[in-house]
């Protein structure tokens, strides 16, 4: 079975994990606990609560990844009771007749994208909708599995905002996103970076966002070791993988080859030719290649990418 980032997996103990990396590492799926079933109902959990719960009840799901040199969660493939995949679930939901306002908004939004000549088979839906945990206020989290289609969709979103068929986020929306992301610079700086990405907007008063997922393999990744926190400035010389997960920005720097970003806050953050300030963990592989990782922890406190303006 193939596991991709943005999938979800459920264990026999009714723990729902969001997959964060493609493939397996030593037979384990790298992930984070997002929902657990307690007192007869599902509960969404943040990172600190998830770690506390697993430490007390299921320590076997706490995992150190030697490849990523990071602590996260993991599930043995053999212990998966259900695998939620964004692409087939989206296709099922598009055929579903329902009174659920979230699903109906998803269907209408996808109809608008289809009307603009997008192939919906290149898309999936993740987050709460993927696992049937949506509520009246849920966002729509779309995933695209083709880079060209992803950037085409961003251009279409920009055009639809101009025609007022969908709307840009307003000040309250941006403030809410900013507070949720715990960004390490000022609100107006955060909004400036976000507004030019065109990977999120409002449809029928419901926020939606779009992310790009392309095949990668944990096993093929070079093994990096963290050597400490750094803060540098450099020019971006290649942004072609800037919206990937993880994102990569090749930089012009005397010692460091690239910036790699694992947190959605700073994906798509900079463009070729721009000078950026980067704070994160310096890593070195076996060949001595150096990179800065932003998002070495889920919250990425103290880590950021910012265009120097």
Matching residue, tokens 């090749």: 250
299 — pLDDT class (breaks 50, 70, 90)? low
Q: Mean pLDDT across the stretch 192-219?
A: 90
Structure-model confidence comparison of residues 70 and 256, the more confident one: 256
Q: Mean pLDDT across the stretch 172-180?
A: 90
59 — pLDDT class (breaks 50, 70, 90)? very high
Q: pTM to 2 decimals?
A: 0.92
Percentage of residues in the chain with pLDDT exceeding 90?
80
Q: What per-residue confidence (pLDDT) applies to 69?
A: 78
Q: 58 with 69: CB under 8 angstroms?
A: no
Give CA–CA dist 271/273, Å, rounded.
6
Q: Mean pLDDT across the stretch 106-118?
A: 97
Q: What per-residue confidence (pLDDT) applies to 133?
A: 95
Find all residues with CB under 8 Å of 184, minimum gap 6, and list them: 279, 300, 301, 302, 303, 304
Question: Does position 219 have pLDDT exceeding 70, yes or no?
Answer: no
Question: Does position 217 have pLDDT exceeding 70, yes or no?
Answer: no
Give CA–CA dist 258/293, Å, rounded.
9
Q: Mean pLDDT across the stretch 204-225?
A: 80
225 — pLDDT class (breaks 50, 70, 90)? confident
In 3D space, the residue among 47, 22, 43 whose CA is nearest the CA of residue 32 turns out to be 47
Residue 85: both structure tokens together: 């995949």
Indicate the SS3 state at residue 151. Answer: helix
Indicate the SS3 state at residue 161. Answer: helix
Considering the chain, tell me which residue range(s) the CATH 2.40.50.140 domain(s) occupy. Answer: 224-307
Q: What per-residue confidence (pLDDT) applies to 301?
A: 81
Question: Does position 90 have pLDDT exceeding 50, yes or no?
Answer: yes
pLDDT digit string (tens) for 120-145? 999 999 999 999 999 999 999 999 99
Question: Does position 220 have pLDDT exceeding 50, yes or no?
Answer: no
Mean pLDDT, all residues of the chain: 93
- Looking at CATH, the fold of the domain delimited by 224-307 is given as OB fold (Dihydrolipoamide Acetyltransferase, E2P) (2.40.50)
Q: Is the bond into 178 cis (omega within 30 degrees of 0)?
A: no
């Amino acid at each position: 079975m193939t596991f991709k980032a943005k999938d979800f997996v459920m264990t026999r103990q009714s723990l729902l994990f969001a997959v964060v990396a493609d493939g397996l590492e030593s037979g384990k799926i790298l992930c984070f606990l997002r929902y657990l079933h307690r007192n007869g109902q599902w509960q969404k959990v943040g990172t600190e609560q998830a770690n506390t719960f697993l430490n007390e009840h299921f320590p076997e799901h706490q995992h150190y990844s030697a490849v990523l040199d990071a602590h996260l969660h993991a599930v043995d493939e053999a212990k998966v009771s259900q695998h939620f995949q964004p692409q087939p679930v989206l296709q099922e939901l598009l055929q579903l007749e329902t009174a659920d306002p979230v699903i109906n908004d998803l269907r209408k939004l996808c109809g608008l994208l289809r009307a603009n000549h997008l192939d919906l088979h290149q898309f999936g839906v993740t987050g709460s909708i993927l696992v049937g945990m949506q509520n009246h206020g849920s966002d729509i989290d779309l995933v695209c599995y083709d880079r060209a289609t992803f950037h085409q969709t961003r251009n279409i979103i920009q055009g639809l905002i101009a025609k007022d068929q969908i709307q840009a986020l307003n000040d309250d929306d941006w403030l809410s996103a900013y507070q949720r992301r715990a960004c390490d610079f000022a609100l107006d700086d955060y909004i400036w970076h976000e507004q030019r990405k065109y990977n999120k907007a409002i449809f029928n008063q419901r926020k939606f966002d779009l992310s790009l997922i392309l095949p990668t393999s944990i096993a093929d990744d070079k093994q990096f070791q963290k050597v400490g926190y750094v803060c540098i400035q450099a020019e971006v010389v290649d942004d072609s993988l800037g919206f990937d997960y993880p994102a990569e920005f090749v930089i012009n720097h005397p010692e460091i080859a690239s910036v790699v970003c694992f947190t959605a806050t700073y994906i798509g953050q900079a463009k070729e030719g721009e000078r950026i300030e980067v704070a994160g963990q310096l890593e070195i592989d076996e060949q001595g290649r150096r990179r800065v990782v932003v998002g070495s922890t889920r919250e990425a406190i103290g880590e950021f990418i910012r265009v120097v303006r």
